[in-house]
Structure 1
Amino acid sequence: MTVLEVAAHRGRALVGGSPIGVDEGAVVGWGAYAPGTDLPEELAELLEEWARAADTVAHSGATTRSAEAVRVSRTGRHLAARVSVALKQSVDYRDPVTGVRVPLRAVSAVSRVPVVPLPARGRRGRGRTSTAFSEPTPWATGLTLAALVAGLVLLVNLTLAVPMVAGLGLVGLLIDLVVAAGLVPALWLNRRVPTWRWAVWGAFVGMGVAVVPLLVVAVAGVTTG
């Protein structure tokens, strides 16, 4: 059984080791590799955009867990599945971000293409904005997660800090703010990572809201003292 590999190298999409592209409305490169079969022009264009985006991420120094790298990987897997459907044969996907080869077998249907960042500078289409890649934002799930995290952070912060603030007053509040500020850099690094970003913003909200009751406790302690 022939298994083709979908990959990207130096900004070029490769199918079965052959670079593909679209020139004046026609798919080029692939036909020479496998006469009698062809890729849809739209799919070839999407593969081109994905390969350029993967090259941009590779040269940006982004980690494999960054939001851009995750989007490139997800989009590549999806497009490899579309190649399998179009050519009616098994496909392996070589992830340009991690280098891992993922076998795709018995693929029969695919739906939408996830979002992927386009390169700032490319050989073709410089400065244009693509609408080919789109993915709805999971507002309901994300806001629910953010609310749960905010509530948990608020509860933990108040449970641990109220006794200290009640005893030390404004000094206790200052200590709590310093501890919270120490967590901000680590949280800020994940503000764009899918799923984690909702938890991050929820944590920020929880820490911010906690300041109000802690300030009340601190002022009350100073007043009564």
Structure 2
Amino acid sequence: MELRARDDRAILIGDDGTGEREVDPHTLALGADLSTALHEWAKVAAALRRGTESDPGSTADPDQAAELVTRRGRQLAERVAAVMGTPVSYVDPLSGEVSTVQPPEVIDAPAPEETAVAEPTPWGVGLLVAAFTGALVLFSVITLALTLKETNPLLAVASNLVISAGLLPSVWLARKVPTWRWVAVGVAAGIVLGWLTLPFIVFS
């Protein structure tokens, strides 16, 4: 691909497989800002060229202005090369010098090192928490069932259903969360033991 300034417009020349084609930067996926900047650079270069030709005795420093235009054009060529991912030949609009700008190299980021060290499972403390939680849930289930059984045995069964339906979603969500998974194990065990104890309460 080649970047040129022709009259007051910037053009890009590329080979589409059937030959070289001149395209307007606005027709490519360069972004509106870059395309506008390219045309503004071409206008400045054209104005500088016309001014130098029409007034060769001007007191303005043409070399300094030409250097700024050249530097700006090369910067824009670098941006085009980066966006398009291909080398861009930059033709200086004042000197005609051709230079090739390479797209920046893409450096693959190194994979993050595994710094986390797997911690040992706290079986002792975890099972203690699970046992305490299970005992608390079992005590609550049995106490509620005994109280409601005096009114109607079916109420004891209904209370177990309500408690199970209310706690099981939380148990399922907490099953993989550190620390809380032990509480979840205890709650699940308490519910299961509560159901196993329920027939003895209802039919006693």
TM-score (norm 2): 0.42
TM-score (norm 1): 0.39
- Structure with higher Rg: it is 2
